Structure 1
Amino acid sequence: MRFVLLCLSLTLSATPSWSQESIGLAAPAEVKDSGLLQHILPRFSLKTGIRVIADDAGVMVLETAPPGDPVFARNDVIYHLRIEDNDRQTRFLEWLKSDIGKRTVESFAPADGGPYSASFDIAVVESGDIVEGDTQLGEELSMTHCGRCHVIGPRNRMNGLGSTPSFAVLRAMPDWSQRFEAFFALNPHPAFTQIDGLTPPFDPERPSPIHPVEITLDDLDAILAFVSRIDAADLGAPLKLQ
C-alpha cells in the first residue's frame, strides 16, 4: 500500500500543474486548416502546464503582418504573434522562439502544402519609414477597399488584378509613401474615390463606375501605418520608375 501511494505521489509531482483558465489563440484559416496548432499546442501545454487552445476570439493573435513577433514561416509568408502584457502569454511566445519550440514547429508535416520553418530572414525596414497609426485598422481597410484590385498580402493573394501592383511591390518603390498619400489623385482612383473633407463630390452626370471607395483622412493614416510595416518585395534590379 505504501509503495502504491509513493508511486502515486511521484506521478503527481512529475505532472505539470495545469492553469485553471485556458488562453485562446486566433490564427488565419490556412494555419488552422493545416493542423499545425493541433500539433504544437498540446506539446506546449504538456511542457508548461499552460493550456492554449485555438479560438477565433483569442487574446493572442497570429497574423501575417506586424505588429507582433515573427515566429514561423510557410510559403514565403511570415506569421507574427501578437500578445498582451501577460506572463503566460509571454511564456508561449518565448517557447515558440526557443530551440525546442522551433524544432516542434519544423517537425510538423502537413498533409497538404509546404512545411513550416522557424528559420527565416526579415526584411529590414528603415525606422524613418515607419508611420505610427492603427495598423490593424489599416489592414482591414486595405482589404475592404483596395483588395478588390490589389494583392494586399497572403489573405487575398489570389484575388488581385494582374494589371495592378501588389502592396509589397508598391512598398518597394522609393516614393511609396507619396504614392499612398496621394493615391486618390492618381488614375484610376479619382473616378471612384471619395475622401471626406478632401475630394470634391462626384459630378452627377459622371457617377462612380464602380462601388465607390469612401474613407476619411484618419482611415488613410491607418492604411499608411499598415503599409509602412509591410515587407517590401525583392524586385532584384533597381526599379525604373515612370
Structure 2
Amino acid sequence: MRATLSSIIFALAVLAGAAATADDRTVRLAAPDVLVENGFLKYLLPRFSLKTQVRVEVLPPGSKADAALGAEGHPLFEGEGMVWSLNVLNADHPGTARFVDWITSDIGMRTVTGFEVDGKAIYARATAKKQVVQSITFEGDAALGKVLSVTHCGRCHVSVDDQPMIGIGSTPSFFVLRALADWDYRFQAFFALNPHPSFTQIVDVTEPFPEDRPSPIVPIELTLDEFDAILAYVSALVPADLGAPLQLQ
C-alpha cells in the first residue's frame, strides 16, 4: 500500500513532536572534570532524574549546553577551594527550568550537601554575600526642604513625623514613599508624574500652564534650589517599615 502525502506528513509531525518532548526531558549540563571524577554528578543527577523524570547529559566545559556548573552564574555551593555557581544558558528549555527549580530548592541543596567522600561532606551551601547598599544623598538645605515640604507637599502628603494629621489619607506619606526601591526617581521626577503636572512648575524646567488650562488649585512653584532642598530633606528621612513582602500561596 502506498503511503499518501498526508499520512507521511502526519507521521513526520508525530516523530517531530516525540523528538521535541524527548529533548524537553534532556538537559545538557556543562561541568568540569572534577565534579565528574569525584563522583558528585553521578551521585546528584540520578536523584534529580528520579524526582522529575528529566535526564541530564553531562558535557565538557565550553560545550553548547542548556546550563553550566562553574565559577559564573548563581552561587549554589562551595567546596574544594571555590564557589560553584549555576549559569543558565537556555532559560526557555523546560527541562532546564526543572533542574534550576530542583537544585535551588531546599531538597536539592540538601542533596548537594549530603554528598560525601570517605564519610566526609565535600560541599556546603554558598555563603550569602552581604550587599553593600549605597545611600543616596542630595546636596541642598534640608532644613529649608522640610519647611517647603510642609508648605507645598503637606496639602496631600504627610511629610513630617511631628504633624501626622496633615495631608490626605489616600495619598502615601513621604515616609512610605521613602521606603520604596525607586524613591529617588519618584521624588526627582515628581513634577512630571500625575497628578503633579497640572499644578506644579519648576522654574526654568517646566513649561507655563496653558492659558486655557490653568492650575485647578493654587499652584506649586519651586526654584531649582528649593527643589534640591526638598530632595535633601527627603533623603535624610527614616523610611517607613512596610513589613515583609506578601507571600501568595
Give TM-score, length-normalised by structure 1: 0.45
Is the radius of gyration larger for structure 1 or structure 2? 2
